[in-house]
Structure 1
């Protein structure tokens, strides 16, 4: 899951070396939170106009997680 999120983000940004992902411990309901960190100048590219790209990233990640019977959330920091 983490590799997929990194691959998606690296395809969008100008500085792929600035992309990192951290994960939190699963919450009480089993949800795993992934924190996507990108360079300051690439933040707009990952979020997109009115958050459309961020929403698309979250949708893809949730679809993959559903196939693996996982609950996830993606936060962009």
Structure 2
């Protein structure tokens, strides 16, 4: 799942080397914390949060396929 998030986010940002994803996992849920360069936060969130919502939709759908509940925090 981390590679899916990286594949989506890295082409959007100006500083792809600053994209970091940390994972916290329990039995039925997985939490991902996405951190990008401060100049790229707006690009990942998008106007009115549309890009972030689209990223979350794709990640949630992939998690649903695996039977896990996914949370994605963007910072």
TM superposition score normalised by structure 2? 0.94
- Judging by fraction of residues, say which structure has more helix: 2
Q: What does 1:1-77 correspond to in 2, within 5 Å?
A: 1-26=1-26, 30-77=28-75
Shift of 1:42: 0.2
Counterpart-to-counterpart distance in 1, 2:25 and 2:62: 19
Deviations 1:6-36 (A, max 9, x none): 111101101110101001132x7x2211000
Counterpart-to-counterpart distance in 1, 2:20 and 2:11: 13
Counterpart-to-counterpart distance in 1, 2:71 and 2:14: 24
Counterpart-to-counterpart distance in 1, 2:5 and 2:32: 9
4+ runs of 1 displaced by more than 4 Å?
none
Which stretches in structure 2 are left out of the alignment for 5+ residues? none
Which stretches in structure 1 are left out of the alignment for 5+ residues? none
